[in-house]
């Protein structure tokens, strides 16, 4: 069956929920000193030695991932060749030769077990001699950047009753996120994250007050100070982390209706609870939002200007926002103008943790919105594996109808036209969890409304309120 892999899914879906419970303070772990190196060809860490008041790192080990290296030692002398560059040093001597020229290490060279070590403090000047390229060495944090590899963060706070801090990075990141009373810590061990420009940023917000950046022992850390529990959501292929104040009353993950535990694939961000303590980890219910059509498949031409595939994507984004405001996490079938098979949309939803599936269409006929549930093939119409696939919705159909009714009620509350119907509409048949299709129809001023974010947002909020009203019933019915 055309399921996408768990790994791909895990990267689509990085959803975490934190509760700031009382945390017992524990003594910091004694950590080995290390140096992190970020280069276009490799990211790695090396142990750092303390000798006679200086920090040292092995020069062969440092250069090895970056090119061809060999070394030799004899009688207190140590030589290294990196690609075609030679370096020569002597145990206990600060002066050596690189490319045939004198080089001052600033502290004595060290030989231990035939391995040559240079002072950490020399790396900023020494490495460019070997590599022929600039390096940026943050000695205090023990982080070395070779070439233009740094990832810059930027912060954007959206204030409000449930404020959100959006951290954008110009490359994907995968920090270890942990929580302590009053703050969320993001530790970037392998990501070449740089300072956002200042070490501390203050926000004029009652809940999220400050973000600080620091570097220590080969890692960067961003701490966000907040007076309420925060929820972290990854999006934009790992380039955006959104920290949002969690809704105060939540049933997420309680009772039997929550999603199963998120599998820990390699790209799945991990929550690291402080040692000796297990804070309650509450998970958000995930709603799968499918923007129908896309890419080569344009859908209906709603007006001369408006293709259905574009309307459904904008509508899906607004629905995602409305659902997130109500304490759900959202998995999107597509984030851009891409072609995705129907089977793949259903497969992605079934392989994940979604508790409900909502596919969005648009039409130039009628007005308001129509909500569809699956019309399943009768017994005997399909056989074998296809029967299972085409009848996947069977068990969830009763709850799907409840979702449809709830959404129609919310449309009525907003004085919008709406109706529910059953239709043979793929991929609803193939989805295991409660599933509806919502077809956006023109508003009071006609088909042009279909492209209006204000109009779409009204319908999206009706859908989200409808989902909230039946949230206790959602989930895969097996």
Q: Which of 45, 303 has the CB closer to Zn ion? A: 303
Say whether residue 299 binds Zn ion (CB under 5 A): yes
Q: Measured from the CB of residue 152, what is the shortest distance to Zn ion in angstroms?
A: 40
Cβ atoms 122, 107 nearer than 8 A: yes
Q: Measured from the CB of residue 436, what is the shortest distance to Zn ion in angstroms?
A: 14
Angle 219-222-227 (CA atoms, 0-180°, nearest 5)?
Answer: 145
Element containing residue 412 per DSSP (H, E): helix 397-413
Element containing residue 60 per DSSP (H, E): helix 59-63
Cβ atoms 447, 303 nearer than 8 A: yes
Q: Could you tell me the two tokens for 113?
A: 């077990």
Q: Measured from the CB of residue 360, what is the shortest distance to Zn ion in angstroms?
A: 8
Q: Could you tell me the two tokens for 454?
A: 């204000």
Angle 387-392-395 (CA atoms, 0-180°, nearest 5)?
Answer: 120
Segment interacting with Zn ion (CB under 5 A) among 226-234, 271-279, 358-366, 401-409 = 358-366
Q: Measured from the CB of residue 355, what is the shortest distance to Zn ion in angstroms?
A: 24
Segment interacting with Zn ion (CB under 5 A) among 249-257, 291-299, 344-352, 400-408 = 291-299
Cβ atoms 245, 162 nearer than 8 A: yes
Q: Which of 292, 441 has the CB closer to Zn ion? A: 292
Burial 374-395 (b: 16+ CB within 10 A, else e): bebeeeeebeeeeeebbbbbee
Q: Three-class SS of residue 53?
A: coil
Segment interacting with Zn ion (CB under 5 A) among 128-136, 355-363, 448-456, 469-477 = 355-363
Segment interacting with Zn ion (CB under 5 A) among 162-170, 194-202, 237-245, 361-369 = 361-369
Alpha-carbon torsion angle 270, 273, 279, 285, nearest 10: 0
- Cα–Cα distances in Å, from 4 out to 232, 233, 338, 425, 478? 24, 21, 15, 21, 21
Q: Measured from the CB of residue 159, what is the shortest distance to Zn ion in angstroms?
A: 37
- Rounded CA-CA distance 445/458 in Å is 14
Segment interacting with Zn ion (CB under 5 A) among 26-34, 228-236, 266-274, 294-302 = 294-302
Q: Measured from the CB of residue 194, what is the shortest distance to Zn ion in angstroms?
A: 44
Q: Measured from the CB of residue 448, what is the shortest distance to Zn ion in angstroms?
A: 18
Say whether residue 319 binds Zn ion (CB under 5 A): no
Segment interacting with Zn ion (CB under 5 A) among 66-74, 232-240, 357-365, 452-460 = 357-365
CB closest to Zn ion, residue no: 361
Q: Measured from the CB of residue 336, what is the shortest distance to Zn ion in angstroms?
A: 18
Q: Which of 323, 441 has the CB closer to Zn ion? A: 441
Q: Measured from the CB of residue 305, what is the shortest distance to Zn ion in angstroms?
A: 17
Q: Which of 107, 369 has the CB closer to Zn ion? A: 369
Q: Which of 346, 402 has the CB closer to Zn ion? A: 346
Size of the site for Zn ion (CB under 5 A): 3
Q: What is the DSSP code string of 320-372?
A: HHHHHHTT-EEEES-SSS----HHHHHHHHHHTTEEEEEEEEE-SSSSSEEEE
Q: Measured from the CB of residue 327, what is the shortest distance to Zn ion in angstroms?
A: 29
Say whether residue 345 binds Zn ion (CB under 5 A): no
Please select the residue that binds Zn ion; options are 309, 334, 361, 471, rule is CB under 5 A: 361
Within its chain, how far is the Cα of 440 from the centroid? Answer: 30
Q: What is the DSSP code string of 110-154?
A: EEETTEEEEEGGGHHHHHHHHHSS-EEEETTTTEEEESS--B-EE
Say whether residue 459 binds Zn ion (CB under 5 A): no
Q: Measured from the CB of residue 293, what is the shortest distance to Zn ion in angstroms?
A: 6
Taking residue 161's Cβ as centre, other Cβ atoms within 10 Å add up to 10
- Rounded CA-CA distance 321/240 in Å is 15
Q: Which residue has the tokens 């509806």?
A: 436
Q: Which of 359, 400 has the CB closer to Zn ion? A: 359
Segment interacting with Zn ion (CB under 5 A) among 35-43, 124-132, 214-222, 360-368 = 360-368
Q: Which of 244, 342 has the CB closer to Zn ion? A: 342
Q: Three-class SS of residue 295?
A: coil
Q: Which of 143, 361 has the CB closer to Zn ion? A: 361
Q: Which of 317, 361 has the CB closer to Zn ion? A: 361
Mark 247-286 with x for binding to Zn ion (rule: CB under 5 A) and - for no binding.
----------------------------------------
Both ends of the chain: CA-CA distance in Å? 19
Say whether residue 292 binds Zn ion (CB under 5 A): yes
Q: Report the interface residues with Zn ion, using CB under 5 A.
A: 292, 299, 361
């Amino acid at each position: 069956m055309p399921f996408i892999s768990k790994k791909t899914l895990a990267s689509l879906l990085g959803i975490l929920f934190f509760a700031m419970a009382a945390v017992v303070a524990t003594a910091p772990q004694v950590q080995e000193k290390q140096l992190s190196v970020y280069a276009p060809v490799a990211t790695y860490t090396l142990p750092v030695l303390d000798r006679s008041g200086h920090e040292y790192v092995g020069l062969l080990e440092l250069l090895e991932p970056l090119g061809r290296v060999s070394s030799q030692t004899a009688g207190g002398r140590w030589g290294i060749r990196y690609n075609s560059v030679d370096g020569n040093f002597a145990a206990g001597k600060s002066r050596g030769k690189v490319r045939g020229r004198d080089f001052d290490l600033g502290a004595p060279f060290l030989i231990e077990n035939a391995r040559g070590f240079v002072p950490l403090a020399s790396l900023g000047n020494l490495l460019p001699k070997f590599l022929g390229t600039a390096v940026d060495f943050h000695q205090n944090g023990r982080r070395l950047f070779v070439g233009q590899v740094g990832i810059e963060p930027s912060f954007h706070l959206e204030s409000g009753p449930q404020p959100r801090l959006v951290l954008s990075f110009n490359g994907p990141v995968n920090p270890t996120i942990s929580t302590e009373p009053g703050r969320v810590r993001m530790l970037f061990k392998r990501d070449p994250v740089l300072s956002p420009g200042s070490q501390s940023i203050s926000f004029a917000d009652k809940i999220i007050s400050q973000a600080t950046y620091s570097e220590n022992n080969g890692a960067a850390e961003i701490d966000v100070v907040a007076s309420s529990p925060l929820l972290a959501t990854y999006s934009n292929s790992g380039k955006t982390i959104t920290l949002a104040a969690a809704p105060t009353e939540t049933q997420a993950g309680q009772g039997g209706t929550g999603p199963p535990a998120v599998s820990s694939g390699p790209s799945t961000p991990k929550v690291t609870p402080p040692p000796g303590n297990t804070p309650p980890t509450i998970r958000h219910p995930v709603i799968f939002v499918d923007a129908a059509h896309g890419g080569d498949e344009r859908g209906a031409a709603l007006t001369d200007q408006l293709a259905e595939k574009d309307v459904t994507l904008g509508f899906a984004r607004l629905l995602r926002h409305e659902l997130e405001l109500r304490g759900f996490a959202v998995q999107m079938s597509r984030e851009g103008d891409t072609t995705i098979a129907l089977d793949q949309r259903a497969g992605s939803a079934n392989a994940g943790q979604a508790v409900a599936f909502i596919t969005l269409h648009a039409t130039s006929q009628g007005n308001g919105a129509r909500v569809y549930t699956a019309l399943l093939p009768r017994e005997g119409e399909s056989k074998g594996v296809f029967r299972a696939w085409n009848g996947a919705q069977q068990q969830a159909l009763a709850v799907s109808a409840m979702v449809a009714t709830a959404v129609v009620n919310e449309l009525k509350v907003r004085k919008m036209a709406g109706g529910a119907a059953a239709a043979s509409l793929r991929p609803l048949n193939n989805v295991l969890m409660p599933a509806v299709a919502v077809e956006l129809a023109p508003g009071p001023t006609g088909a042009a409304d279909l492209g209006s974010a204000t109009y779409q947002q009204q319908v999206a909020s009706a859908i989200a309120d409808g989902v909230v009203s039946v949230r206790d019933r959602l989930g895969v019915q097996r």
